Amino acid sequence: MTVKAFAPAKINLTLHVTGQRSDGYHLLDSLVVFADVGDSVTLTPGPELSMDVVGELAAGVPADHRNLVWKAAKAVGWTGHIELEKALPHGGGVGGGSADAAAALTALSAQGVPIPQDVPLSLGADVPVCISAKSTRMQGIGDALTPVPLPHLPVVLVNPGVSVPTQSVFAALSARDNTPMPDVIPDLATPQVCAQWLRNQRNDLENPALQCAPEIAGVLDELEQTSSALLARMSGSGSTCFALYPTMKDAHLAAYDIGAAHPDWWCRATRLN
């Protein structure tokens, strides 16, 4: 039976790099949320694996064994046709590939396909948290997940059309033993309170990403200058950035202004939860 799954964008409100293991894996402490925009994955059983990538942002996304959805299907022994509709920027720091793989695994599990416990993390550090698809504190190498209640957060997501390889960003990171978030995350009841607390937190990959893609600085500047913006920051390893707003009306107005000024940028007003 054909199944379709939604793969929401993953946004790192914070991303503290707190260490590196001897096997090369980085230790993280990140507050992760998910947006109302995302890709979609359609799975149709068949005798062998095949894949098409479609949609407005399909360019540059592999449709073979290099794709994480393909790897996820192969890891659990599923065969058939995969159609991936891309609505999220490729290499944009919003977990597109990880979210796609997580959506596929969730859909296959719902169809009775056994998912070995080690498969999600073997595909990437973000895949387990993308399976949960709810506001979460992600620690370790992505294996320690703690739910964190957050309010709905109006946001604008902006990508300047630049793909930033994650490996290049980590290679440019000057310090790998930075401080984690506080042990206890307080009650962040409103977007305003959330933004105020986030100002004292970081994305440790923002500065190295700026070295790899200076265009990110222009995006952050544009977001900071929009009316009612509470906080602007880069997500993940870039190049997508976000700004938080008090209301969805504020977010839509900001997205309109940025879209009018930069029609070549990917820009979406959405809600994080």
Q: Give the active site residues.
A: 10, 126
Question: 3-state class of 216 per DSSP?
Answer: helix
Distance CA 242, CA 219 (A): 9
Cβ neighbour number for residue 253 with a 10 Å cutoff: 17
Long-range own/partner contacts, residues 254-258 (CB < 8 A, 24 or more apart): 254/156, 254/223, 254/226, 254/227, 254/228, 254/229, 255/156, 257/226, 257/227, 258/156, 258/158, 258/222, 258/223, 258/226
Q: Which helix (H) or strand (E) holds 116?
A: none
CB 18 within 8 A of CB 30: no
Name the packing angle between helices 248-261 and 215-225 (round to 10°). 130
Distance CA 48, CA 38 (A): 27
Distance CA 23, CA 117 (A): 21
Tell me which residue of 225, 271, 222 sits closest to 251, measured CA to CA. Answer: 271
Q: Hey, what amino acid is at 131?
A: I
